[in-house]
Amino acid sequence: MAVRDDDVAFVHELYARLGTITHRKMMGGLSIYCDGQIFAILSAGGRHYLKASGAFADEMEAQGSEKFSMGDGKSMNYWTLPDAALDDPELAADWGRRALDAL
């Protein structure tokens, strides 16, 4: 499944409170940037992930987030955005800000 225009619009709306949101299409998904810094991805399957490592990754895991897996046993330092944040731009921006602060 490839990312559609309405998916792109949703990403921009979800994270608008963070600053200037831009994106690049990649491998059927999106890389998502705030003021030029990548902090999130949208997978080709439509899942939102935030870049996280260390203590922030531990916090995301404790919230029930899942680590991004490429399907071949390899993973990247991206964790799913908590489900509640998908319906709440303020909460999504809070999580996004924490991801940016942790970079």
pLDDT tens column, 35-81: 999 999 999 889 999 999 999 999 999 999 999 987 777 778 999 99
Task: Please report the pLDDT score of residue 27 as a whole number.
Answer: 83
- What are the structure tokens assigned to 48, written together? 């939102």
Q: Which domains does the chain have, with CATH numbers?
A: 5-88 (3.30.1460.30)
Which pTM value belongs to this model? 0.91
Number of Cβ atoms within 10 Å of the Cβ of 17: 15
Average pLDDT over residues 84-89: 94
Work out the mean pLDDT of the chain and round it to a whole number.
Answer: 93
User: At 26, which amino acid appears?
Assistant: M
